[in-house]
Amino acid sequence: MNYVNALNLIATLKIKREQEKKFIELSNIIFPPLARETGWKLTSLWTSNEQTDEITHIQNQWQTNEETAEQVESILTQAMENLTQSIDGYQQQLEMLDELIIEETLHYANSYTI
């Protein structure tokens, strides 16, 4: 077993299924620069029952290089500030993405691999 000290930042989201395409479009604009700026890796998991669910559940797991929640929050805040200053329209795209989210919770987790 290989235990990793770095935290994972997990954002659990709910969006309307009809908004999936727009969410993906905005995610493809927002998340790659954020990953480059932070040096983190993103894994995104999507679940829904296409026949009965009107809601899509998304779990964005950011594999960070930081060991504390305070370090994660500091790196994330600085990265967002840098990107909103250096990329035209980045702040507006963030706001558009946020408008699609019905519910969001954030968690931190450690991980190990076998």
Whether the CA torsion 2, 74, 91, 55 is positive or negative: it is: positive
pLDDT average, residue stretch 39-43? 97
Q: CA torsion 109→29→33→60, rounded to 10°?
A: 10
Where are the domains positioned within the chain?
2-113
The pLDDT value recorded for residue 5 is 80
Q: What is the pLDDT of residues 55-103, one digit of tens each?
A: 999 999 999 999 999 999 999 999 999 999 999 999 999 999 999 999 9
User: What is the identity of the amino acid at 10?
Assistant: I
Does the pLDDT value for residue 113 go beyond 90?
Answer: no
Give the three-state DSSP class for 114.
coil
Q: What CA–CA distance (Å, rounded) separates 19 from 8? A: 26
pTM of the model: 0.88
User: What is the identity of the amino acid at 56?
Assistant: T
Please, what CATH class does the domain formed by 2-113 belong to?
Answer: alpha beta
Q: What CA–CA distance (Å, rounded) separates 51 from 77? A: 39
